[in-house]
Amino acid sequence: MKRNPRKLRWTKAFRKAAGKEMTIDSTLEFEKRRHVPVRYNRTLVATTLKAMKRVGEIRKRREVAFWKNRMAANSQRRKLADKKEVSKSINLLPGIKASTKAAASAQTAKQKVKVPKNKSSNLASAGGSGQKMTMDMD
């Protein structure tokens, strides 16, 4: 079944169209395919690997900055929603405060109570004066 990639949330096309991923960045130019075969050169490979590592670091730093910039509006929205929720259910707050105060006072009032332990149990005597429970095998 054919589907529009801009409507499937897991595709790069959707993420770029929805503004969730960077679209204009010079580090993305390095990912493009180049259909030109290059003869092996040891120094070229070494410099390419260094450059790839450096470009990866730069991209990561830019992505983090991009994400923080996107989420800044989200924190303001979350704070407004929290304020709205508190103003809606303001009648619940005094009960919450009272219950936390009661719990705190109950914890301070608790003290350890020592229970005296019996030295010997009432069920079995340590002296061995009782009858033995053995089976006689004849």
Q: What is the pLDDT along the chain (138 residues), one digit of tens a residue?
A: 899 998 998 998 898 888 888 777 777 777 777 888 889 999 999 999 999 999 999 989 999 999 999 888 888 899 999 999 988 887 777 766 666 666 666 666 665 556 777 665 555 555 555 566 666 665
Q: Measure the CA–CA gap between 100 and 102, rounded to whole angstroms.
A: 5
Question: Are 31 and 42 spatial neighbours (Cβ–Cβ below 8 Å)?
Answer: no
- Tell me if 95 is assigned to some domain: yes
pLDDT at 109: 64
Q: Measure the CA–CA gap between 35 and 29, rounded to whole angstroms.
A: 14
pLDDT at 123: 58
Q: Which amino acid, one-letter code, is at 37?
A: P
- Tell me if 43 is assigned to some domain: yes
- Tell me if 92 is assigned to some domain: yes
- Tell me if 67 is assigned to some domain: yes
Cα-based distances in Å from 2 to 7, 9, 12, 16, 72: 12, 15, 17, 20, 36
Question: Has this prediction a pTM greater than 0.85?
Answer: no
- Tell me if 119 is assigned to some domain: no
- Tell me if 3 is assigned to some domain: no
- Tell me if 40 is assigned to some domain: yes
Containing domain of residue 25, as a range? 12-100
For residue 18, what is the DSSP state?
Answer: T
Q: What is the number of structural domains in the chain?
A: 1
Radius of gyration of the chain (CA): 37
